[in-house]
Structure 1
Amino acid sequence: MTADSDANPCSPKEPKSGFWLQTRTFHSLRPRVPLPPLSQSLSITDYILSLLLQSSTSTSNTTVLIDSSTDRQVSDDEFLSQIQSLSSSLRRSTSLSKGHVAFILAPPSLHIPVLYFALLALGVTISPANPLGSDLEISHQVRLSNPVIAFATSSTSHKLPRLPLGTVLLDSPEFLSMIDDENRPNADPVEPVHVSQSDSAAILYSSGTTGLVKGVLLTHRNMIALFAGLFGHRLESDRNEAQKKKEPQQVSLITVPLFHVFGFFKLMRAVAMGETLVLMGRFDLEVMLKAVEKYKVTHLPASPPLLVALTKSELVKKYDLSSLRLLACSGAPLGKDVALRFVAKFPNVEIAQGYGLTESGGGGASMEGSEEYSRLYSVGRLTVNMEAKIVDPVTGEALPPGQKGELWLRGPTIMKGYIGDDKATVEILDSEGWLKTGDLCYFDSDGFLSVVDRLKELIKYKAYQVAPAELEHLLLSHPEIADAAVIPYPDEAAGQIPMAFVVRKAGSNITEAQVIEFIAKKEGTTGVFVGVLT
């Protein structure tokens, strides 16, 4: 079966884990969603905007974007107008065309979402990168993506080389005129661009399983499949449920970078669902808390360190966070102790964990509804149209529920490959379309996925394989520890021994001996640290 197949090989008699014994493969328990015919010309921009029209519950002009640093707001009508204006302006004023790559190096702003959608509508492959990256990193990314044009700001453009079509500054008067169609009332209309779903859409950067940063090539089809799966069977029910409960407009605050697959996904999701999206610059906990209070944020994408900070910081007492209803947590395994402490402190806020990689196009596992949110040990169930295997890293055997192994994923969101690196692509993607994630995971009997750690990060202590993430979660459960990291330390007798780096909570005098004693008393740990640096 191909990764893009709409056929459902699952038998209704399968156990509730979704494990199919004949193939030793896990299948998504979500209702399967058909995708648009591959022969249909369709860009991710057109698809997302069609979902926006479906999700609109009124004809009122709602706010789609807010810049928390300036309080500038963009309505949905204005957003659509700016996309159209920018795409038309780019076609008139540059030689930019379908198949070209555009490198984007700019901090978060209201211009970035408009730029993404406009370029994707033209069939241009977007390649956003971290504006705080070093000159060496950015030079490597430019070589990988081979762009013809760049979009930057006056503070980041110096990091870029000379490109065939130059660099457009997003903070220049020229760019502002490009997104304002009122300046060209008599401009001739341009012919629409026909984008194939198999065309390249984005090059997002990932470390892969190891080594130098790699360029992950995603197609329009990859992205369409992700959002078709997310909303194909939920859009109508979600809208009706929201109307029934008369809930306020969903407001999401983006704390993750828009150049990262998580931020990219959250941006697209918010637009598709007709939500309000609040953008913020470089992360600062107190700035974030102020924004939650000011804009009555209901949904907050978060990583485990942010949950730790919210649980332990005294700053949260200064702000009204009562609007918060859901934290979408991804990026790393969330310790159950951390989750329990968060729920105890914020009983009205649910945690929706998820799992995805840049290489999987953000797809993997997710949670839907309060019953699933309560599974604090898990990252959820397989997303729509996704398959998985748990593979023994030594024998290559596919394992049943309850056993740990490397997670392999297959589905229509999986990347096309690493750009300019066929060797790395072959190493991570097999001939049958399986993506080897490099993560040590297991499924339980109900089909919920749990992530233990990265396979390559396991510490080989004597006959044990110790997961640094599990020790870090235990350390963070101590009330006097603000943050912690665990690494392997070479040892002649044991092979490797865990070493912990610990940040004390303000006012704490906890000692190395006390930390080691705390871990040693925890059931299921080796109880051995070569040392603890505090």
Structure 2
Amino acid sequence: MQKAAIDQRSGFCEATGIYYSKREHVKLPADPSLTLPNFIFHHHSVDPTATAYIDAATGASLSYGQLKTQVFSFAAGLSSFGVQPGDVVLILSPNSIVFGVSLLAIMACGAIATTTNPLNTPLEIAKQASDSQAKFIVSLPSLIPKLPKLLPLILLKDFDKNDLEHLGIANASLERNSELDRHTLASFLAKRGFPRFAIFSELLQSERSSVSSDHYGRQDDTAALLYSSGTTGTSKGVILTHGNFIAQVRILTRVEEIIPWALRVYMCIIPMFHVYGMAFFAFALLAKGSTVVLQQKFDLVETLRAIEKYRITHAPVVPPVLVALAKSPMVQKFDLSSLVSVGSGAAPLSKEVMDAFTKRFPHVYVSQGYGLTESTAIGANTATAEEARQYGSTGTIASNMEFRIVDVASGTPLPPNQRGEIWMRGPTIMKGYFGNPGETAAVLDREGWLHTGDLGYINEDGFVYIVDRLKELIKYKGFQVCILITSYGDRICRY
């Protein structure tokens, strides 16, 4: 396709009915045997002494050198525990440093990560474990009552007195020791349906020789099964490959902007079990050497304290958090001068909120975006302060991505400023829905177009606007809930 056939202002080509990204095309790695962990740790130059993760609550941290060592040591430990390439490992945990380590370690040993919300019910968790055919569980002692029984269990931390008190169990051995001894722990878990278990700290001592950083996998292998309501409202396992995540990392980190990536400090409030939290905070930022400050759940005062203490430069949030930053008097008590950018998803921000935020933080620009679990959180986003001033827009089409706006009745591609269903195509689009060829065929056509079920339009300047859903309501825990579009992948903020 010659550039002359593409309108340079909107990116629309009348001959093909396709909107092309106006951004620079990103070159993707051609090596078919490249895996995501190998790409992150061996295809980027990052200072090993730089800080990768900080736990906001405890101040605990992990350097990039330590992160790499732990990822491949834990991967070796998982292999020694019996995790095989292609096995599905379910992670149930809030944000933590070991969560990030676990994700990459699972993929480094050739296995597949599936994640779920710790707030889910035991029935919901069991359903996902069954549907994904999970063979192992990685979780915390406090979450044991929610876990499906009989599956081998990997605990991310040792049991302590607080864990047993949380579970309503007294144990005399804890009067003498801060942690349960191995025999007592084995008996405790066996009685609760977990005859086989391991602990993160023990598996971390495994010999790394059993897992080579250059081994186990190809770009087209499945890296994760992330569950999404999809376009029909029923939860399905979205198959995302190593190649999907590698493309996502390259597309998200294509621009250096004002602050070099290695000097950026990000606040991570978005759950890492969600596609955006995972792909951005656990993968993309690590490839570029940024520091990620982790918070388990949002608390305004604790978030403000962390921004001040750790000199946060970037803070992706959801709209209620941004509204609080714009309007809460509590904000005045903290030094937030380090902030450069705040990202917002889940719904377009009103001009009123944007104006209020800009008035309080004139030096901070607000980025917005649009993506789905099925597109590895990639679609459209605002990349500059100027783009962010397009109120109501989710930005312009991301690098390497193509859009169509299609008439719902006729299937005809539509030109700028006409509303229709949004279709997306590009290197981050999912492989399909796990074990569900019918649902896959319904949303992913033979030409590679993902039919999103979202209604919107692209204006004459190439900005994407989301206006509605083909089916606006779904059931969530028995209630009819309005679906909201989020740049964090799924269409419901469940946190």
Structure-2 separation of matches of 1:248 and 1:345: 27
Matches within 5 A, 1:58-73: 59=47, 61-73=49-61
Q: Provide the TM-score with structure 2 as the length reference.
A: 0.83
One-letter code of the match for 1:306? V
Q: Say if 1:253 and 1:469 are closer, same or farther in 2 by CA, change over 3 A.
A: closer
> 1:231-380 residue pairs with structure 2 within 5 A?
231=253, 233-234=254-255, 238=257, 242=259, 249-267=263-281, 268-380=283-395
**Does structure 2 conserve the Cα–Cα contact (< 8 Å) formed by 1:101 and 1:124?**
yes
TM-score w.r.t. the length of structure 1 is 0.77
The 1:372/1:147 distance shift into structure 2, 3 A limit, reads same
SS in 1 for 2:10: coil
Q: Using the alignment, how far apart are the partners of 1:35 and 1:263 within structure 2?
A: 22
- Report Cα offsets for 1:193-218 as digits up to 9, x if no partner: 33111111001111112333221111
Cα deviation for residue 60 of structure 1 reads 6.6
CA drift of 1:14 comes to 2.0
Residue from 383, 389, 394 that aligns with 2:404: 389
How far is the alpha carbon of 1:373 from its aligned partner?
2.8
Equivalent position to 2:10, from 12, 17, 22: 17
Q: Which of 158, 166, 184 is the matching residue for 1:172? A: 158
What is the alpha-carbon distance in structure 2 between the residues aligned to residue 429 and residue 10 of structure 1? Answer: 27
* Counterpart-to-counterpart distance in 2, 1:403 and 1:150: 47
Q: Which residue of the partner structure matches residue 186 of structure 2?
A: none
Looking at structure 1, the residues matched to 457 and 208 of structure 2 have their Cα atoms a distance apart, in angstroms, of: 57
8 Å Cα contact 1:148-1:163 kept in structure 2: no
Distance 1:318 1:438, change over 3 A: same
Say whether the 8 Å CA contact 1:82–1:179 is kept in structure 2.
no
- Please, which runs of 5 or more residues in structure 2 have no aligned partner? 160-197, 474-481, 486-495
Other structure's SS at 1:189 match = helix
Residue type at the aligned position of 2:265: V
1:51 to 1:373, Cα distance in 2 relative to 1, 3 A: farther
- The one-letter amino acid paired with 2:199 is F
* Residue matched to 1:34: 27
Aligned to 2:210: 190
* Shift in Å, 1:102: 0.2
1:123–1:195: 8 Å Cα contact kept in structure 2?
Answer: yes
Shift of 1:222: 1.0
Contact 2:444 2:451 in 1 (8 A): yes
Inter-partner Cα distance in structure 2 for 1:64 and 1:225: 21
1:124 to 103, 108, 111: 111
Q: Distance in 2 between matches of 1:48 and 1:375?
A: 34
Native 8 Å contact 1:30 1:384 kept in 2: yes
Shift in Å, 1:176: 4.3
Cα distance in 2 for residues equivalent to 1:74 and 1:375: 38
Instruction: Please tell me the residue identity of whatever aligns with 1:157.
Output: I
Kept in 1: contact 2:262–2:289 (CA 8 A): no
- Which of 213-222 and 363-372 deviates more? 363-372
- Judge which range, 404-413 or 312-321, deviates more: 312-321
The 1:136/1:292 distance shift into structure 2, 3 A limit, reads same
Instruction: Give the conservation status (yes or no) of the 8 Å contact 1:157–1:167.
Output: no
SS at match of 1:287: helix
Distance 1:412 1:29, change over 3 A: same
**Number of equivalences:** 435
**Map of 2:99 onto structure 1:** 112
Matched-pair contact (CA < 8 Å) for 1:149–1:163:
no
1:40-64 deviation line (CA, Å, top 9, x unaligned) = 21111111223542xx3xx571111
Is the CA contact (8 Å cut-off) linking 1:354 and 1:365 kept in structure 2?
yes
Aligned partner of 1:48 in structure 2 is: 40
Q: How does 1:89-238 map to 2 (within 5 A)?
A: 89-92=77-80, 94-164=81-151, 166-172=152-158, 175-178=199-202, 180-181=204-205, 187=207, 189-192=209-212, 193-231=215-253, 233-234=254-255, 238=257
- Could you tell me how far apart the structure 1 residues matched to 2:422 and 2:202 are? 45
Q: Distance in 1 between matches of 2:484 and 2:241?
A: 33
Number of the residue aligned with 1:512: none
Secondary structure in structure 1 of the residue aligned to 2:247:
helix
Distance 2:358 2:421 in 1: 30
The answer for unaligned runs of 5 or more in structure 1 is 1-8, 459-466, 471-534
Q: Distance in 2 between matches of 1:343 and 1:450?
A: 21
- What one-letter code is carried by the residue in structure 1 that aligns with 2:201? S
Greater relative contact order structure (CA < 8 Å, 6+ sep):
2
Determine the structure 2 residue equivalent to 1:475. Answer: none
- Residues 251-306 of structure 1: per-residue CA shift (max 9 Å, x gap): 10111110001111221122111111011112222221111111111100112222
Task: Give how far 1:180 is off.
Answer: 4.5
- Cα deviation, residue 362, structure 1: 1.0
Structure 1 residue 26: Cα displacement: 0.4
387-396 or 199-208: bigger deviation: 387-396
**Whole-angstrom distance in 2 between the partners of 1:335 and 1:404:** 20
Measure, in 2, the Cα distance between the counterparts of 1:248 and 1:359.
29
- Aligned identity (percent) is 40
Q: Does structure 1 conserve the Cα–Cα contact (< 8 Å) formed by 2:341 and 2:367?
A: yes
Deviation, structure 1 residue 100:
0.6
The alpha carbon displacement at 1:177 in A equals 2.7
Q: Deviations over 1:381-407 (max 9, x none)?
A: 111111111112223221101111111
Q: CA RMSD in A?
A: 2.3
The answer as to whether partners of 2:423 and 2:450 remain within 8 angstroms in 1 is yes
Q: How far is the alpha carbon of 1:312 from its aligned partner?
A: 2.5
Give CA deviations for 1:64-95 in whole Å, capped at 9, x if unaligned: 10001111111111111111211122222x12
Relative to 1, partners in 2 of residues 1:248 and 1:270: Cα closer, same or farther, differing over 3 Å? closer
Alpha-carbon separation, structure 2, partners of 1:334 and 1:381: 16
Task: Tell which deviates more after alignment, 331-340 or 447-456.
Answer: 331-340
Partners of 1:178 and 1:69 lie apart in 2 by: 24
